[in-house]
Amino acid sequence: MDRTFKAISLILSYPTAELQAAMPEISAVLMSETRLTTAARAEMAPLLDALAAEDIYALQEAYVALFDRSRTLSLNLFEHVHGESRDRGGAMVSLVETYREAGFDPVTSELPDHLPVLLEYLSMRPEGEAREVLSDASHIFAALAERLNRRESTYAPVFGALLQLSGVQADAAAVSDLLAQPEADPDDLKALDAIWEESEVLFGPDPNAGCPQVRDMLSAMDLPVNPRPATAAE
């Protein structure tokens, strides 16, 4: 198992008491990862320290405010490619079928394109394959890093680390397109309600619908991160 991908999967998951208890080991894995530069490791330290020591409820509230209240910070990768279009439904169906064909059944309440799920899978795949998959999503990681940096979030360096692990430079035009999408103020509940007003996700008949790059990126995924519990904010 690639313990670095597993560790990043865990720190990008919803914070729990179990995660806090495991943070000494998780931090040791990431701080000793030689595929990351010394600077990249140091930049992740504030998040690792916070996850280990801060009040769990404050950590959970901050996580929800970042990743659940804004589509432009979503950890569901297809959100950044398809939004709520029919293509997203088709890509999701294809992804679930891929899991099942590989002998894996979804056991989490998260959507199959959730980034911690992808990283959990990559922790069990050869390094070259993992790097190729991450490279396909590099523009998403770069956009997330930039948006989180603007918010001065300690999560931002994690996405910089993922870019380093991908071994590529994100396509500047693709990053620019993602950053051009408007962001909502997470404290403006009325605006958030308007943005998150759900349109129906249609699981259409074409399982191959959608963006070929992302479909290929997720063509051999596995699945098994622990589901995060529902919170009052959801």
pLDDT in tens, 125-177: 789 988 988 998 999 999 999 999 999 999 999 999 999 999 999 999 999 99
Residue 215 confidence (pLDDT): 41
What's the pTM value of the predicted model, to 2 decimals? 0.77
Q: What pLDDT, on the 0 to 100 scale, is given for residue 178? A: 92
Per the prediction, the chain carries an average pLDDT of: 79
Average pLDDT over residues 32-47: 98
pLDDT for residue 30 is more than 60: yes
What average pLDDT score do residues 102-109 get? Answer: 62
Tell me what pLDDT residue 196 has.
Answer: 45
Query: What's the DSSP call for residue 109?
Result: S
Range in 29-43, 52-66, 67-81, 94-108 the model is least confident about: 94-108
pLDDT at 195: 45
Grade residue 221 by pLDDT with cuts at 50, 70 and 90: very low
DSSP result, 38-92? HHHHHHHHHHHHHHHHS-HHHHHHHHIIIIIS-GGG-SBGGGGTTTTSHHHHHHH
Whether residue 233 has pLDDT greater than 50: no
How many other C-beta atoms are found inside a 10 Å radius of the C-beta of residue 197? 8
What pLDDT does residue 124 have? 78
179 and 146 in contact (C-beta within 8 Å)? yes
- Report pLDDT digits (tens) over 166-217: 999 999 999 999 999 887 655 555 545 554 454 444 333 333 333 343 345 4
Instruction: Read off the DSSP letter of residue 37.
Output: -
Distance of CA 39 to the CA centre of its chain: 22
